[in-house]
Structure 1
Amino acid sequence: MNISLISPEVASSDSEPMIISASLKSPSVKVTERHHHSRGQLAGTLQGLISIEVESSQWVIPATHGIWIPPDTQHSLLGSHGPFYGWSIYIQKSECNNLPNKSCMLELSTLLREAITRTMTWNNSELQPEHKRLMAVIVDEISIIPQVDIALPMPKDIRLLKIALALSNNPSDDRNINEWSVWAGISRRSLTRRFTNETGFNFTEWRQKLRMLKALELLVAGRPITEISLNLGYDNISGFIAIFRRNFGVTPGNYQKAMRNNRPWRNFNDTII
């Protein structure tokens, strides 16, 4: 389904309001063609993973994070992995001067997430002073929340992208590299070499990072850790915990507690729980 959340004309308008918000829930996979607009955009999903291409980079974004797209930056939504339930806010170009000037992944704070959710209840009502103050808070929060390096580059080779999208839709798929090469019609040697060249990770590392992004989403949703481990293709929970901690510096259980208590997981000390 190729549907824009707002019209191109509105997305390129620098008139009031400062922020335009939109959300969409659809049982269909959503894609948008490559485009750009003069408003800056922060995009995310309320559940599931989405693949977005921004200029020459392709990233997978979990529900715990958002991607910032500066004004006039070429981008497209390659697809949602499963039904689409996403949101975007569009910020006046004139208000983007203090925001990141390059696309980046942002760790969504509870404050930012709740403020964005509030704007989506306003519909077309006339903006009051309190509405405008909350919009200013959103812009300030985007300017200070941490940028994180957990983006997962997507390969560009159509055969490798086919594999990457299949794994994004089903991270627990445990086919080995030989099986994937046969399925995609590419030699193992070419798959290995191209995957590393195009993503910066070898195939095994890339699949593990994808599973970790999905784990973040499931933990925030409150799913039991044992269930998450099995759903992501890990045979034992201890292996999953070890890999999660190696990637994020915290155990899955303590990450989940941090999210439940609205605390920053980066500073969450395992020893004080």
Structure 2
Amino acid sequence: MTTTSTFSFTHRPLVPFAHDYVHGDSEPWHQHNCAQLLHSLSGVVRVDTAAGCWVVPPGRGVWLPAGTRHAIRITGSVAARTLFIDPLARADLPASCQIVQISSLLRELIVASFALPESYAPGSREERIYELILDEIRAMPILPFHLPEPMSAPLRQLCEQISQAPGESWSSQQAATLTSMSERTLNRHFQQQTGLSYGEWVRRARLMEALLRLAQGQPVLRVALDLGYGSHSAFTAMFRRVMGVSPSDYFKEA
């Protein structure tokens, strides 16, 4: 069952909303009549949609277009700051789900939006802040924290097995055997259905699992070994290549 939340935008283009979650919280499948930008100040948020899984690391955000059916699961203590946005506020708002970088300016604008009145005069400071928020939303960089869901049943079953045991080797040869395909056919179908190569899908699945485990406070070495990395340094090198900093520094900064 899916519930629908309805927001009114008679006087302003967006409505800010603050909510703090505790570890293990969740929200069942639901949707909104407006677009949503969920910004996580701490902890990790997993968002499931029909198109796949989206993991929001601390300090980042997820964009959900109006009418997107989704469910939420919380890892760690999450301080969420959300903007519900009139889908007609701008003609070129993002049209698909995205994990996005939240700039320092946008973060401060989100904070400022909680003090803005619903009604304001044309040309006022309040109007300019609202418009600047919309400008910043259009410029948000997209981050690779989406795990797309393949369409065919054999590949979906394979992805479920990988998600349940991400620390196994999961070579393309092993995956091809499980799906009764050749390695070439497996890779072609993965690329066609997810936009990722099979190897990239597995690496991304491991990174997203790592984010969830690190947000729970698990030691970096334990996470590295559980996810099939031979050493702390090998895992840290992968994490730094994607995230720009080491795992310990990333969560310390967040």
TM-score by length of 2: 0.65
Instruction: Determine whether 1:80 maps to 2:77.
Output: no
Q: Deviations over 1:119-145 (max 9, x none)?
A: 67x8xx975879877655533432333
Q: Deviations over 1:59-116 (max 9, x none)?
A: 4233243232344xx5222663779966642112342335335543311234544654
| The one of 221, 238, 241 aligned to 1:226 | 221
C-alpha separation in 2, matches of 1:3 and 1:117: 30
- For 1:265, the equivalent position in structure 2 comes to none
Gaps of 5+ in 2: none
Root-mean-square deviation (CA, aligned residues, Å) is: 4.6
Letter matched to residue 240 of structure 1:
F
> What does residue range 102-117 of structure 1 map to in structure 2 within 5 Å?
102-113=96-107, 116=110
Say which SS state the counterpart of residue 156 (structure 1) adopts: coil
| Counterparts in 2 of 1:97 and 1:253: CA distance versus 1, 3 Å | same
C-alpha separation in 2, matches of 1:146 and 1:138: 15
| Counterparts in 2 of 1:24 and 1:81: CA distance versus 1, 3 Å | closer
Letter matched to residue 49 of structure 2:
E
- For 2:84, the equivalent position in structure 1 comes to 90
C-alpha separation in 2, matches of 1:112 and 1:223: 31
The answer to which structure has the higher strand fraction is 2
- For 1:9, the equivalent position in structure 2 comes to 6
C-alpha separation in 1, matches of 2:218 and 2:113: 28
| The one of 231, 235, 238 aligned to 1:236 | 231
Gaps of 5+ in 1: 263-273
Q: Deviations over 1:153-183 (max 9, x none)?
A: 2222345335535655x5744264688789x
Instruction: Determine whether 1:60 maps to 2:46.
Output: no
How many aligned positions are there?
Answer: 242
| Counterparts in 2 of 1:76 and 1:156: CA distance versus 1, 3 Å | farther
- For 1:267, the equivalent position in structure 2 comes to none
| Counterparts in 2 of 1:153 and 1:44: CA distance versus 1, 3 Å | farther
> What does residue range 5-44 of structure 1 map to in structure 2 within 5 Å?
7-10=4-7, 13-20=8-15, 21=17, 23=19, 25=21, 27=24, 29-32=26-29, 37=33, 39-43=34-38
Letter matched to residue 48 of structure 1:
V
